[in-house]
Amino acid sequence: MTSLSTTFYFIFCTVLNSTFAISVRLSGSSSTTKYFAYGRVEINYNGTWGTVCDRLWDDDEATVVCKMLGYQYGIAIKNAKYGKGTGPVILDRAYCRSFHKSLDECSSLSYATNCSHNQDAGVACNIRLAGKASVSTSLAYGRVEVYYNGSWGTVCDNNWSSNEGSVVCKMFGYSGGVAITESLFGAGNGPVWLVNVKCLSSAKDLSQCNHVGWGNVTTMFSQRYYYPSWYCSHYNDDAGVICYDNVNESQVTCGEGWTGSSCLI
């Protein structure tokens, strides 16, 4: 007779008392400006600051945090991309919907008892990677989109280079990045919000870079935009990035005779 054995794993959680208001802040490798914010999420519960476990952390929870900070949309960033926190890991899970305005409104807030700071959750507010996009611990890529004036829009790829790509990747918690042009990750839609972006490597986000102004392009015809001497078409000119933490782990393969933005992941 064959004996069967079963191993059970238990996760013990304590539901947070909703009578205490929860406040949030961004820490670690973080930045908060008028248009964008990013960093490790820390919450103050009953007088104590601590981090949030990323086990069930997704874009709905990130959006709620960004709303609490005065922004409209959030992207969930996992695996302590903005650095490991200290002190307690206060929040284990929160089931939020994007229409919630505060973590207090989310259900099943529970205290974390077996989550390490390697799983500290973060957010990036009002910026995202879209189109043919992918995000992992050490590599991410996609079309750059920013939220402004009530809608998502793209960035024109004129003058889009390594400095601009690195600044965007910094916003997502990566150490470096490559600028991608010519709508390689697919054509966006809606407005082209930023044109002729020029960043210094010291810039913390795109709002600290020079550009011709938000939305200073006008529709010429069918998804094509114009600003003095630049044409910006969603079909040919949407900017993208490839972000990495370790260049040796980031594999970009070029077909024979192709370089730069013509490479494929």
Identify the pLDDT of residue 174.
97
**Parent domain of 67:** 20-124
Last-in-domain residue among 95, 124, 153 = 124
Task: Say if residue 62 is in the same domain as residue 173.
Answer: no
pLDDT value of residue 240: 98
Whether residue 186 is found in the same domain as residue 148:
yes
Q: What is the DSSP letter of 162?
A: H
133-147, 202-216, 249-263: which range is least confident on average?
249-263
- The reported pLDDT for the residue numbered 248 is 55
Q: Could you read off the pLDDT of 210-235 as tens digits, one per residue?
A: 998 787 765 443 445 555 445 788 88
Measured CA distances, 185 to 69, 132, 134, 180 (Å): 30, 5, 10, 9
In a domain, 3, yes or no: no
DSSP SS3 for 130: strand
The reply to whether 168 falls in a domain is: yes
Do 141 and 228 lie in one domain? The reply is: yes
Residues 256 and 135 in one domain: yes
Q: Are residues 106 and 153 in the same domain?
A: no
Both 92 and 138 in one domain: the answer is no
**Residue 209, C-beta contacts closer than 8 angstroms, at least 6 positions apart:** 164, 167, 197, 198, 199, 200, 203
- Report whether pLDDT(53) > 80: yes
The mean pLDDT value of the chain amounts to 83
- Burial code (b: 16+ CB inside 10 Å, e: under 16) for 224-242 equals bbbbeebebbbeebbbbbb
Listed residues 124, 141, 176: the one ending a domain: 124
CATH of the domain at 42: 3.10.250.10
Asked, for residue 4, whether it belongs to a domain, the answer is no
One domain for residues 24 and 116: yes
| Residue 255 pLDDT > 70 | no
The predicted model scores a pTM of 0.82
Residue 58: which pLDDT band, with cuts at 50, 70 and 90?
very high
Give the C-alpha separation, 76 to 257, whole Å. 37
Q: Is residue 9 part of a domain?
A: no
Is the domain of 100 the same as that of 153? no
For residues 114 and 227, membership in a common domain is answered with no
Domain count, the chain: 2
87 shares its domain with 162: no
The reply to whether 137 and 229 lie within a common domain is yes
One domain for residues 98 and 156: no
Domain ends where: 56, 90, 124? 124
Question: What DSSP letter does each residue of 204-247 carry, written as one string?
Answer: SSGGGSB-S-TT--EEEETTEEEETTEEEETTT-B-EEEEES-G
Distance CA 41, CA 82 (A): 9
pLDDT at 5 over 80: no
Give 101-116 pLDDT, tens digit per residue.
999 898 867 776 688 9
Does residue 263 have a pLDDT over 70? no
Is 248 within a domain?
yes
